């Protein structure tokens, strides 16, 4: 009988207490992971995640945009579960409420906050993981969450230009580091969802115009908004040894977003 794909691995999920990250943490444990560390800013979400996932999960509270956050989570993984094999960086979010939007409306604070959440945090966590893999001499796997908006824009409903810039930068950063560290057997890849029903997507998920657009822009499975677990299988694969010959790749899990035109409902203007 074949071993589970993540058998005996210890994985840190940065941004793992809700949404995509929490769903993935559950999938990692089901796929045989020895332990999972989930991180997040909200203590209530952290407690709920540990209660839901059981003794093979511990939480590390804090802000992913702080340079010390990921090193602390990796240290906790090694202390509690005796190793560190993979990092899944999910943390990020819309900067809309802080001033992200179309370029002519983008505020200085919106730019700063959006880049900190969606790009700086990725660089900090990946740096911490690479440093630990090098110290161990073991190699390892890193998976970063991007977005189809990084290269497949949607101006009518999703005109947050700093967010798109950050997600495009995640691709460039990941591919560049993947090339550099491949000889050390450190793999880095990107998972790029389209619109998924997570806490970040509440505005879109409650807008009937957007849901009508998504029905044609994400036509797979009847034309629907994505679910967190739609990304789990790809995340398990890319962090497992089954993907040992895969690095520097961007996998869109998007319901067909990047190959579909999408029909804008009548009367909808640019957002």
Active site residues: 163
Rg (CA), the chain: 18
| Separation of alpha carbons 83 and 77, rounded Å | 6
Q: Is 135 exposed, middle or buried (0-12, 13-18, 19+ CB in 10 A)?
A: exposed
| Separation of alpha carbons 135 and 253, rounded Å | 33
CB 8 within 8 A of CB 81: no
Q: Which residues pair with 170 in a beta bridge?
A: none
CB 85 within 8 A of CB 141: yes
Residues 6+ apart with CB under 8 A from 234: 191, 251, 253
Token code pair at residue 61: 């509270």
| Separation of alpha carbons 44 and 64, rounded Å | 17
Calculate the alpha carbon distances from 108 to 2, 93, 111, 149, 240 in Å.
53, 17, 5, 21, 40
3-state class (DSSP) for residue 82: coil
3-state class (DSSP) for residue 245: coil
Token pair 């093979």: residue:
56
């Amino acid at each position: 009988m074949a071993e589970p794909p993540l058998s005996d691995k210890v994985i840190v999920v940065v941004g793992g207490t809700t949404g995509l990250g929490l769903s993935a943490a559950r999938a990692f444990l089901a796929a045989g992971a020895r332990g999972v560390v989930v991180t997040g800013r909200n203590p209530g979400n952290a407690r709920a995640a540990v209660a839901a996932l059981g003794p093979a999960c511990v939480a590390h509270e804090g802000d992913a945009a702080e340079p010390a956050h990921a090193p602390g989570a990796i240290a906790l993984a090694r202390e509690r579960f005796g190793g560190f094999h993979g990092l899944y960086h999910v943390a990020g979010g819309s900067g809309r409420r802080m001033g992200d939007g179309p370029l002519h409306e983008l505020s200085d604070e919106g730019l700063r906050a959006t880049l900190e959440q969606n790009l700086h945090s990725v660089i900090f966590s990946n740096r911490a993981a690479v440093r630990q893999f090098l110290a161990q001499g073991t190699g390892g796997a890193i998976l970063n969450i991007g977005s189809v908006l990084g290269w497949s824009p949607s101006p009518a409903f999703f005109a947050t230009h700093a967010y798109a810039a950050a997600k495009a930068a995640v691709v460039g950063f990941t591919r560049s580091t993947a090339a550099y560290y491949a000889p050390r057997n450190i793999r880095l890849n990107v998972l790029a969802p389209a619109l998924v029903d997570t806490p970040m997507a509440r505005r879109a998920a409650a807008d009937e115009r957007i849901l009508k657009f998504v029905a044609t822009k994400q036509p797979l499975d009847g034309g629907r908004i994505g679910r967190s677990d739609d990304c789990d299988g790809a995340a398990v694969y890319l962090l497992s040894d089954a993907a040992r010959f895969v690095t520097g790749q961007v996998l869109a899990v998007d319901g067909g977003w990047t190959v579909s035109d999408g029909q804008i409902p009548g009367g909808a203007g640019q957002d």
